[in-house]
Amino acid sequence: MLHCYVHIPFCRKRCSYCDFFLVTRKNLFAPFAVALEKEVVARSDQLSGKTISSLHFGGGTPSVAGPGMIEHWLELFSRFAAFSPDAEITLEANPEDLSSGLAEAYAAAGVNRLSLGVQSYQDRKLRALGREHDARCASEVTQWALESLPNTSVDLICGAEGETLREWMGDLEQVCAFGLPHVSVYMLTVEPGTLLGRDTRSGKVVLPSDECLAEFYLAACQRLAAQGFEHYEVSNFCRPGAFSRYNLGCWHREPYLGFGPSAHSLIVDGRQETRCANVSSIVRYIDHPGNACEFCEKLDGKAVLDERIFLSLRLRDGVETELLYSGNRNRALVDERLGDFTARGWLEILPGRIRLTSRGFLFADYITEELLP
């Protein structure tokens, strides 16, 4: 099985907190679309004979492509690889770009899962985040999406300027009221080089404290669990069976191919694993679509092991204990750290494996660093 990702980097504008690779020049979309097709054709040998389990259109704002282009790209991939009968086809979309008719058109084009960048259902918070849509639009689009594509997910962000626990709980209640099968919860992160980064450094914007963010996150874990959601990954919650197949495949380190500027791939050829990244320049990508790869690294045994541990710790299923002792690691030191993390309530030790608790997920990066010398 193979997973595919297509990066469509176009947005109307850059959000203040976003550091993703994106483009706001609409005139570049047509040459980008031509370049993307050329890249898929040039890499058809990587698709040949494979079965695609999931294909994720990410961005950027992939919904700017329109249903016709999405259908064309799906047909393009099907020339070189088979889609599994239950393949997951996900399209990321912003509420302001979607209507009831468009949701139906995307479904007819072959999309069977939407990922909506709602971020909040409250006007004050949406303004603080600099989003283009308002609360009414967010609610209407969520309902339209569910009517056409029941397997719809929404993204929520906590930690906006001035946000209170009551306001955050209001967003969670909206998610529960809609009966959504999947929700991704992200704590607002200040990235260097972004407008938000500059505004926080200057004092123009003051964000909630880390303690408040932890309170928001744990409140989400508790509320969503009470509604029957499974907390299957650090930021992701789903009803039983409604997990993101693409994301779970990446976290399990299943082979995936990334197309488009800045897209990443994990190529598995027998025992050799190679991680590749495309150029992060729309001009270079358009000019050299058949040779978009900018970086390739063959992973040695230690790199593969470290990735397995790092990614598994993000999952509720956790990681096999024996993996932590592999690669000449100091068993006594690992046991000491596991005992410490368990005592702090960050970690659970189960037969043959360990997993992080909801509180432990808040310290996932630190725990990983301590367990990976």
CB atoms within 10 A of CB 99: 13
**Residue-wise pLDDT tens for the chain (373 aa)?**
899 999 999 988 888 888 888 888 889 999 999 999 999 999 999 999 999 999 999 988 898 899 999 999 999 999 999 999 999 999 999 999 998 899 999 999 999 999 999 999 999 999 999 999 999 999 999 999 999 999 999 999 999 999 999 999 999 999 999 999 999 999 999 888 888 989 989 999 999 999 999 999 999 999 999 999 999 999 999 999 999 999 999 999 999 999 999 999 999 988 899 999 999 999 999 999 888 999 999 999 889 999 999 999 999 999 999 999 987 678 899 999 999 999 999 999 999 999 999 999 999 999 999 998 6
Q: How many Å apart are CA 292 and CA 286, to the nearest integer?
A: 9
Token representation of residue 192: 């260097």
- What are the distances in angstroms from CA 175 to CA 97, 170, 178? 20, 9, 5
Which CATH architecture best describes the domain 310-373?
Orthogonal Bundle (1.10)
Domain definitions of the chain by residue range: 2-249, 310-373
Q: How many Å apart are CA 11 and CA 94, to the nearest integer?
A: 10
Superfamily of segment(s) 2-249: Aldolase class I (3.20.20.70)
Q: With CA atoms as reference, report the closest residue to 329 among 354, 312, 361, 306.
A: 306
